[in-house]
Amino acid sequence: MMVRTHTPSLSPAEGRTVMRVLLVNPDYEIERYMGRHFGRMGWVMPPMGLLYLAAQLEAEGIEVAVYDAQVDERSLDDALTEFEPAIVGITCATALVASTLAAARIAKERFPGVTVVVGGVHPTVRPDDLLTGDHVDIAVRGEGLLTLVEIARVVDTGRSDDLETIKGISYRQDNEATIRFSRRLPLDQVRFALATPFPGTRLWEIAKNEGSVEIDDWMQLSSMGGYRSDELFYVPVGRDSDELKRLQRRANFSFYFRPRIMAGFIRRIRSMDEFGEYARGAWGLLKATVAPY
Protein backbone atom coordinates (compact mmCIF):
# COMPACT_ATOMS: atom_id res chain seq x y z
CA MET A 1 0.00 0.00 0.00
CA MET A 2 1.40 3.36 -0.87
CA VAL A 3 -0.94 6.01 0.47
CA ARG A 4 -0.30 9.24 -1.34
CA THR A 5 -1.62 12.64 -0.44
CA HIS A 6 -1.76 15.70 -2.66
CA THR A 7 -1.59 19.14 -1.20
CA PRO A 8 -0.79 22.50 -2.73
CA SER A 9 2.70 23.95 -2.55
CA LEU A 10 3.67 25.84 0.59
CA SER A 11 4.49 28.92 -1.41
CA PRO A 12 3.54 28.50 -5.05
CA ALA A 13 4.06 32.22 -5.64
CA GLU A 14 7.77 31.78 -5.04
CA GLY A 15 7.84 28.98 -7.58
CA ARG A 16 9.30 26.52 -5.12
CA THR A 17 8.72 22.85 -5.65
CA VAL A 18 6.68 21.09 -2.99
CA MET A 19 8.59 19.43 -0.19
CA ARG A 20 7.94 15.68 -0.38
CA VAL A 21 8.35 13.20 2.44
CA LEU A 22 8.18 9.43 1.96
CA LEU A 23 7.39 7.61 5.21
CA VAL A 24 8.48 3.99 5.28
CA ASN A 25 7.35 1.05 7.38
CA PRO A 26 10.24 -1.35 6.78
CA ASP A 27 9.87 -5.06 6.18
CA TYR A 28 9.10 -7.12 9.28
CA GLU A 29 9.27 -10.45 7.43
CA ILE A 30 6.08 -11.37 9.22
CA GLU A 31 5.62 -14.48 7.09
CA ARG A 32 8.94 -15.81 8.36
CA TYR A 33 7.73 -15.55 11.95
CA MET A 34 4.07 -16.40 11.69
CA GLY A 35 3.68 -18.44 8.50
CA ARG A 36 2.40 -17.13 5.20
CA HIS A 37 -1.36 -17.03 5.80
CA PHE A 38 -1.63 -16.56 9.54
CA GLY A 39 1.06 -13.88 9.47
CA ARG A 40 -0.73 -11.77 6.89
CA MET A 41 -4.12 -12.31 8.46
CA GLY A 42 -3.43 -11.48 12.07
CA TRP A 43 -0.36 -9.30 12.24
CA VAL A 44 -0.33 -6.76 9.47
CA MET A 45 -1.74 -3.57 10.92
CA PRO A 46 -1.70 0.01 9.74
CA PRO A 47 1.50 1.75 10.90
CA MET A 48 -0.23 4.23 13.21
CA GLY A 49 2.90 6.20 14.11
CA LEU A 50 3.62 6.93 10.46
CA LEU A 51 0.00 7.84 9.75
CA TYR A 52 0.00 10.38 12.58
CA LEU A 53 3.20 11.84 11.14
CA ALA A 54 1.65 11.93 7.66
CA ALA A 55 -1.40 13.82 8.93
CA GLN A 56 0.78 16.42 10.64
CA LEU A 57 3.03 16.92 7.62
CA GLU A 58 0.02 17.21 5.36
CA ALA A 59 -1.53 19.82 7.62
CA GLU A 60 1.68 21.81 7.19
CA GLY A 61 1.36 21.73 3.39
CA ILE A 62 3.97 19.05 2.84
CA GLU A 63 3.28 16.27 0.34
CA VAL A 64 3.46 12.81 1.91
CA ALA A 65 3.39 9.20 0.81
CA VAL A 66 3.48 6.17 3.09
CA TYR A 67 5.22 3.04 1.84
CA ASP A 68 4.45 -0.09 3.85
CA ALA A 69 6.82 -2.94 3.00
CA GLN A 70 4.42 -5.40 4.63
CA VAL A 71 1.77 -4.90 2.00
CA ASP A 72 3.09 -2.80 -0.89
CA GLU A 73 3.30 -4.73 -4.13
CA ARG A 74 6.20 -2.65 -5.42
CA SER A 75 9.77 -2.43 -4.24
CA LEU A 76 10.92 0.49 -2.11
CA ASP A 77 13.20 1.43 -4.96
CA ASP A 78 10.22 1.81 -7.31
CA ALA A 79 8.32 3.85 -4.74
CA LEU A 80 11.30 6.19 -4.35
CA THR A 81 11.65 6.59 -8.10
CA GLU A 82 8.00 7.44 -8.46
CA PHE A 83 7.73 9.87 -5.54
CA GLU A 84 11.19 11.52 -5.57
CA PRO A 85 11.13 12.57 -1.91
CA ALA A 86 13.48 15.09 -0.30
CA ILE A 87 13.13 13.22 2.99
CA VAL A 88 12.68 9.53 3.71
CA GLY A 89 11.36 8.87 7.22
CA ILE A 90 11.60 5.30 8.49
CA THR A 91 9.94 3.93 11.60
CA CYS A 92 12.08 1.54 13.60
CA ALA A 93 11.33 -0.92 16.39
CA THR A 94 14.20 -2.97 17.81
CA ALA A 95 13.44 -6.05 15.71
CA LEU A 96 13.47 -3.81 12.64
CA VAL A 97 16.91 -2.22 13.00
CA ALA A 98 18.41 -4.31 10.18
CA SER A 99 15.54 -3.72 7.79
CA THR A 100 15.50 0.00 8.69
CA LEU A 101 19.19 0.24 7.78
CA ALA A 102 18.54 -1.73 4.57
CA ALA A 103 15.75 0.68 3.62
CA ALA A 104 18.00 3.65 4.43
CA ARG A 105 20.72 2.23 2.17
CA ILE A 106 18.27 1.78 -0.71
CA ALA A 107 17.10 5.40 -0.28
CA LYS A 108 20.67 6.78 -0.32
CA GLU A 109 21.65 4.64 -3.29
CA ARG A 110 18.63 5.83 -5.27
CA PHE A 111 18.98 9.52 -4.28
CA PRO A 112 22.31 10.30 -2.56
CA GLY A 113 21.06 13.79 -1.63
CA VAL A 114 17.97 12.55 0.20
CA THR A 115 17.77 13.17 3.96
CA VAL A 116 17.07 9.92 5.80
CA VAL A 117 15.34 10.31 9.17
CA VAL A 118 14.53 7.45 11.53
CA GLY A 119 12.17 7.47 14.50
CA GLY A 120 10.21 5.14 16.74
CA VAL A 121 11.00 2.96 19.73
CA HIS A 122 14.58 1.93 18.97
CA PRO A 123 16.06 5.29 17.86
CA THR A 124 14.36 6.83 20.90
CA VAL A 125 16.43 4.75 23.30
CA ARG A 126 19.52 3.93 21.22
CA PRO A 127 19.85 6.52 18.42
CA ASP A 128 23.54 5.79 17.84
CA ASP A 129 22.77 2.26 16.63
CA LEU A 130 21.24 3.83 13.55
CA LEU A 131 23.79 6.60 13.07
CA THR A 132 27.00 4.60 12.92
CA GLY A 133 26.81 3.93 9.17
CA ASP A 134 26.51 6.41 6.32
CA HIS A 135 22.88 5.95 5.41
CA VAL A 136 20.89 7.52 8.24
CA ASP A 137 21.24 11.28 8.71
CA ILE A 138 18.98 12.02 11.69
CA ALA A 139 17.46 9.94 14.50
CA VAL A 140 14.37 11.40 16.18
CA ARG A 141 13.92 10.57 19.86
CA GLY A 142 10.36 10.34 21.17
CA GLU A 143 7.28 11.93 19.64
CA GLY A 144 7.99 12.94 16.09
CA LEU A 145 5.04 15.03 14.93
CA LEU A 146 6.41 18.53 15.37
CA THR A 147 10.03 17.42 15.11
CA LEU A 148 9.64 16.02 11.61
CA VAL A 149 7.96 19.24 10.46
CA GLU A 150 10.89 21.21 11.87
CA ILE A 151 13.33 18.91 10.07
CA ALA A 152 11.40 19.35 6.82
CA ARG A 153 11.68 23.14 7.18
CA VAL A 154 15.45 22.92 7.65
CA VAL A 155 15.88 20.55 4.70
CA ASP A 156 13.72 22.87 2.61
CA THR A 157 15.92 25.90 3.32
CA GLY A 158 19.14 23.88 2.94
CA ARG A 159 20.62 25.41 6.11
CA SER A 160 21.76 22.22 7.82
CA ASP A 161 23.36 24.22 10.66
CA ASP A 162 19.83 25.01 11.84
CA LEU A 163 19.43 21.37 12.90
CA GLU A 164 21.14 22.50 16.09
CA THR A 165 17.99 24.40 17.04
CA ILE A 166 15.76 21.29 16.89
CA LYS A 167 15.24 19.50 20.19
CA GLY A 168 15.05 15.70 20.50
CA ILE A 169 17.19 14.67 17.56
CA SER A 170 20.57 13.00 17.16
CA TYR A 171 22.66 13.32 14.05
CA ARG A 172 26.21 12.99 12.88
CA GLN A 173 27.95 16.31 13.08
CA ASP A 174 31.25 17.10 11.52
CA ASN A 175 33.88 18.75 13.69
CA GLU A 176 33.46 22.07 11.91
CA ALA A 177 29.83 22.17 13.07
CA THR A 178 30.97 21.70 16.68
CA ILE A 179 33.42 24.59 16.36
CA ARG A 180 30.79 26.87 14.82
CA PHE A 181 28.33 25.86 17.56
CA SER A 182 30.80 26.79 20.32
CA ARG A 183 31.26 30.23 18.77
CA ARG A 184 27.53 30.86 18.72
CA LEU A 185 27.03 30.09 22.43
CA PRO A 186 27.30 32.99 24.90
CA LEU A 187 30.35 31.50 26.65
CA ASP A 188 33.52 33.09 27.94
CA GLN A 189 35.50 29.89 28.24
CA VAL A 190 35.35 26.46 26.72
CA ARG A 191 37.42 23.30 26.83
CA PHE A 192 37.50 21.14 23.74
CA ALA A 193 38.07 17.77 25.39
CA LEU A 194 38.77 14.85 23.09
CA ALA A 195 36.60 11.80 23.64
CA THR A 196 37.94 9.77 26.58
CA PRO A 197 36.59 6.27 27.29
CA PHE A 198 36.04 6.07 31.04
CA PRO A 199 35.41 2.62 32.57
CA GLY A 200 31.72 1.81 32.84
CA THR A 201 30.73 3.91 29.83
CA ARG A 202 29.61 2.72 26.43
CA LEU A 203 32.64 4.39 24.83
CA TRP A 204 34.84 2.24 27.07
CA GLU A 205 33.18 -0.91 25.70
CA ILE A 206 33.56 0.34 22.12
CA ALA A 207 37.23 1.17 22.67
CA LYS A 208 37.87 -2.23 24.30
CA ASN A 209 36.21 -4.02 21.39
CA GLU A 210 38.29 -1.99 18.95
CA GLY A 211 41.36 -3.01 20.92
CA SER A 212 42.27 0.69 21.23
CA VAL A 213 42.81 0.93 25.00
CA GLU A 214 45.90 -0.29 26.81
CA ILE A 215 46.02 0.93 30.41
CA ASP A 216 49.26 1.03 32.28
CA ASP A 217 48.59 4.26 34.13
CA TRP A 218 45.12 5.50 35.11
CA MET A 219 46.42 9.09 34.94
CA GLN A 220 46.19 8.71 31.19
CA LEU A 221 42.43 9.05 31.51
CA SER A 222 42.54 12.71 32.49
CA SER A 223 40.38 13.88 29.59
CA MET A 224 43.16 16.40 28.95
CA GLY A 225 44.32 14.54 25.86
CA GLY A 226 45.91 16.88 23.36
CA TYR A 227 46.26 19.72 25.87
CA ARG A 228 49.07 18.23 27.89
CA SER A 229 50.33 14.88 26.69
CA ASP A 230 51.97 14.21 23.35
CA GLU A 231 50.24 10.90 22.86
CA LEU A 232 46.47 10.66 22.88
CA PHE A 233 45.11 7.92 25.09
CA TYR A 234 42.28 7.08 22.71
CA VAL A 235 42.12 7.47 18.95
CA PRO A 236 38.88 6.13 17.46
CA VAL A 237 39.18 3.78 14.50
CA GLY A 238 39.28 5.82 11.29
CA ARG A 239 40.86 8.93 12.90
CA ASP A 240 44.47 9.74 13.57
CA SER A 241 46.09 11.43 16.49
CA ASP A 242 47.66 14.36 14.60
CA GLU A 243 44.35 15.14 12.95
CA LEU A 244 42.56 15.25 16.32
CA LYS A 245 45.23 17.44 17.91
CA ARG A 246 45.13 19.80 14.93
CA LEU A 247 41.36 20.09 15.23
CA GLN A 248 41.54 20.76 18.94
CA ARG A 249 44.07 23.54 18.39
CA ARG A 250 42.06 25.13 15.64
CA ALA A 251 38.91 24.94 17.80
CA ASN A 252 40.75 26.78 20.61
CA PHE A 253 42.16 29.37 18.25
CA SER A 254 38.87 30.11 16.57
CA PHE A 255 37.02 30.29 19.91
CA TYR A 256 39.45 32.42 21.95
CA PHE A 257 41.03 34.74 19.40
CA ARG A 258 37.91 36.79 18.79
CA PRO A 259 37.36 40.43 19.75
CA ARG A 260 34.48 39.60 22.17
CA ILE A 261 36.49 37.03 24.14
CA MET A 262 39.66 39.13 24.18
CA ALA A 263 37.74 42.23 25.30
CA GLY A 264 36.17 40.15 28.11
CA PHE A 265 39.60 39.11 29.38
CA ILE A 266 40.88 42.67 29.24
CA ARG A 267 37.82 43.97 31.15
CA ARG A 268 38.54 41.53 33.98
CA ILE A 269 42.11 42.75 34.53
CA ARG A 270 42.37 44.57 37.88
CA SER A 271 46.11 44.92 38.41
CA MET A 272 49.47 44.80 36.64
CA ASP A 273 50.02 41.33 38.11
CA GLU A 274 46.80 40.10 36.56
CA PHE A 275 47.78 41.76 33.31
CA GLY A 276 51.00 39.74 33.35
CA GLU A 277 49.08 36.51 34.07
CA TYR A 278 46.64 37.08 31.22
CA ALA A 279 49.37 38.14 28.79
CA ARG A 280 51.38 34.99 29.53
CA GLY A 281 48.22 32.88 29.22
CA ALA A 282 47.34 34.44 25.87
CA TRP A 283 50.88 33.96 24.60
CA GLY A 284 50.86 30.30 25.70
CA LEU A 285 47.52 29.73 24.04
CA LEU A 286 48.67 31.41 20.83
CA LYS A 287 51.83 29.29 20.72
CA ALA A 288 49.83 26.11 21.39
CA THR A 289 47.13 26.83 18.85
CA VAL A 290 49.43 27.70 15.97
CA ALA A 291 51.90 24.85 16.59
CA PRO A 292 52.75 23.13 13.28
CA TYR A 293 50.60 20.03 13.28
61 or 168: whose CB is closer to ligand B12? Answer: 168
Binding flag, residue 28, ligand B12 (CB under 6 A): yes
Q: Which stretch binds ligand B12 (CB under 6 A): 41-49, 127-135, 216-224, 281-289?
A: 41-49
Binding flag, residue 95, ligand B12 (CB under 6 A): yes
Residue 226 zone, left/alpha/beta (φ > 0; ψ -120 to 50; rest):
left
149 or 179: whose CB is closer to ligand B12? Answer: 149
Please identify which residue in 5, 11, 81, 94 interacts with ligand B12, judged by CB under 6 A. 94
CB of 119 to ligand B12, least distance (A): 2
How many helices and strands, by DSSP H and E, does the chain display? 13, 7
Please identify which residue in 29, 31, 143, 164 interacts with ligand B12, judged by CB under 6 A. 143
- 3-class secondary structure, 14: helix
Rounded (10°) angle between helices 241-256 and 259-268: 70
CB atoms within 10 A of CB 253: 16
Please identify which residue in 38, 43, 198, 283 interacts with ligand B12, judged by CB under 6 A. 43
Binding flag, residue 41, ligand B12 (CB under 6 A): no
117 or 194: whose CB is closer to ligand B12? Answer: 117
CB of 144 to ligand B12, least distance (A): 3
Check: CB of residue 43 under 8 Å from CB of residue 68: no
- 3-class secondary structure, 25: strand
Single out the residue of 225, 242, 246 nearest to residue 288, CA to CA: 246
Give CA–CA dist 19/110, Å, rounded.
18
Interface contacts to ligand B12, rule CB under 6 A = 28, 43, 45, 47-49, 52-53, 89-91, 93-96, 117-122, 140, 143-145, 147-148
